[in-house]
Structure 1
Amino acid sequence: MKIIKISEEHIKEVTMFLLQNQLIFHPRISPKGIPDFTNYNGREFILILDRNILTKLIELCLHGTLNDSYLLKVIGSIMFWANFNGVRITAGIALNEYAYNLNDDLKASKENNIFLELFNFYSPLQWLDLALGITETIPQMTLSKDLNSYIFNVESDHYKMHYAEMLHISFLLANQELGNTEKLIEFIKWNNNNLLFCQYTLVYACMLFSRKIKQINIKQVDEILKKCRNQAWDLTYLSFWSTLYWEDNHSNEVFLFCTMDKDLKKIFVSTHEANKNPFVECYGKDKGIKIHNEYQNIISNRVKPVITSDLLNKLIQIGEENIRNHL
């Protein structure tokens, strides 16, 4: 067997690229996209890819290149880093999103066949050459006609909850009678009455209403609903992942998350920024403390609602009707 040596300089270059671009996250290992595996040695790491990264990875494998040299470096760096460090990669949520949006398993099954095969098809050196910019092409993959079928088109309660949230946030966003502070408080009250609180949604609402994240001015109902669905899936990655990382201090499996989405990064980093209150960060000291106190008042002695599929469907129906009627 031929042993191929990879220089320490190249390993460092790839690692620094990932750190500088802040692509890999975990609330304790990498709260700002800069991994530090201290106290997590000897664990089995699993990297969750978001939909945008998986899409580009599949496109690269099918066509042998991408028309964006930066994305080639991103994909090459992620794949080499994971391979070199023995980090497993999963695309389950991304495939769930794809199949659910299409209401069909066929294309998601094809992507999963490619995804499962590519780990044997490509060598670490091929990913490294992409990461270092030595080449901008890799061999194209071809699959046999006999593909395995998978079921990814399943309803996610996480997604439905976030879609209902996004519909109500969009409805409040269009309300010209409420100020930004009042909009956030109204959302907190609505959330308290109807759903479980998600730390990521709360931070997203904070940043959106205070314009820390750009508000997109859309007037067409279908486009608003599409935007709500896309944002709901973004939050689904974070909330579902949180059920995996919540108590992983002593778990053998540790789940990391990989994304290029700038807003998603902002939400995650702000949520896990130590000793910082997101209300104060977004609204300033006076308004922020007022909102914080209002929030504490609302959730004190709270009885969590029972979340059912029927409840989520009803909230989604009401949310879509509110947007249609308002516009």
Structure 2
Amino acid sequence: MNILNIPEQHIKEVTEFLVENQLILHPQISPKGIPDFSNYYGRDFIMILDRNIVTKLIELCTKGTLNDDFLLKVIGSIMFWVELNGVRITAGIALNEYAHNLNSNLNASKENDVFLSILDFYSPMQWLNLALGNERGIPPIRVSDIKSYIFNIENDHYKMHYAEMLRLTYLFANKELDQTKKMIEFIKWNNDNILFCQYTLVYACLLFSKKIKQLSISEFDQVIKKCRNQAWDLTYLSFWSTLYWTDSNSNEVFLFGTMDKDLRKIFITTHDANINPFIFCFGEKKGSEIDKEYRRIIAGRIKPDITEIVLQNLIETEEENLKQNF
């Protein structure tokens, strides 16, 4: 066993960088991007990495460097921190997204081979040197024997979020409804057609109140692409929620690593116990109106029966509705 002598100041510098940039999230441990493991000592921690981080991690490990010093510091800091704390990392959803977008397993399989080699190939000190800016590169990984994996599989979370994004975009482009009515119309549609997701509701609030990056309504194909991208962002959060939901009594605890500002905003807003997202986004009067209507709509709700066929038909209907705007 190798023993590393790392100055406390270096560990502090990396930790402060991660906290300052809110890169590590969890509803109880790190609801605002500031980890506190007080009630979770002795657990087995696993960090889900989003596509942006995985993309830059793989690029760094295959090319040996990145042309952005901040990204080098992000990757170096995360990788040193997980090594130091014995946290496992997973790129499963990111590789699922990559394979789905390309409709092929080939490139995702190549990335997975590199990903599986990373922790054995590099030392914590190499990651620390990147994090501290002492080095700008690491030896590249060369994988000669590419194995085949299956990542291009249907993801029900993604399909539901894609349907949501199509509807949200349709309402966003509607010039006859004000923002309050758009939000209420989305809640009604959600109630009738699909499962409620806390993250989607918060995203819709932020979108219609202009507190998050706005949708650009231009060419239809580009709008569809943006709907797909945002659907994947929401998929990370909703799928992760199925893992952290019961982790207070589980040995495995799943963290989430992201540098996406909008994803972070959705997450932090959702898990702030002092925030009613309707009032936070729309103000006291309009927010209370939406909140009242939301509670009326879901009272005695019977969840819709969502099958593969129902979901596909819903997506096709919403795509056609949206297309009529072009």
Do these two structures clear the TM 0.5 threshold for a shared fold by scoring above it?
yes
Instruction: Return closer, same or farther for 1:2/1:292 CA change in 2, 3 Å cut-off.
Output: closer
* Map of 1:54 onto structure 2: 54
Q: How many residues align?
A: 326
* Map of 2:38 onto structure 1: 38
Name the CA distance, whole Å, in 2 between partners of 1:212 and 1:253: 34
Q: State whether structure 2 residue 146 is matched by structure 1 residue 138.
A: no
Q: How does 1:1-327 map to 2 (within 5 A)?
A: 3-144=3-144, 146-327=145-326
Name the CA distance, whole Å, in 1 between partners of 2:16 and 2:200: 31
**Deviation at residue 140 of structure 1 after TM alignment:** 1.0
**Deviation at residue 27 of structure 1 after TM alignment:** 0.5
**Deviation at residue 224 of structure 1 after TM alignment:** 0.4
SS at match of 2:169: helix
**Deviation at residue 181 of structure 1 after TM alignment:** 0.2
Name the CA distance, whole Å, in 2 between partners of 1:2 and 1:122: 13
Counterpart residue identity of residue 309, structure 1: E
Write the deviation string for residues 172-191 of structure 1: whole angstroms up to 9, x where unpaired: 01111100000000000000
Name the CA distance, whole Å, in 2 between partners of 1:183 and 1:278: 15
**Deviation at residue 217 of structure 1 after TM alignment:** 2.5
Counterpart residue identity of residue 225, structure 1: I
SS at match of 1:45: strand
Name the CA distance, whole Å, in 2 between partners of 1:140 and 1:163: 36
TM-score with structure 2 length normalisation?
0.99
Unmatched 5+ residue regions in structure 1? none
Give the conservation status (yes or no) of the 8 Å contact 2:80–2:128. yes
TM-score with structure 1 length normalisation?
0.98
**Deviation at residue 2 of structure 1 after TM alignment:** 5.8
- Identity percentage over the alignment? 68
Name the CA distance, whole Å, in 1 between partners of 2:119 and 2:103: 28
Give the conservation status (yes or no) of the 8 Å contact 2:212–2:262. yes
Counterpart residue identity of residue 79, structure 2: M
Name the CA distance, whole Å, in 1 between partners of 2:128 and 2:287: 46
SS at match of 1:326: coil
Write the deviation string for residues 245-264 of structure 1: whole angstroms up to 9, x where unpaired: 00111100000001011111
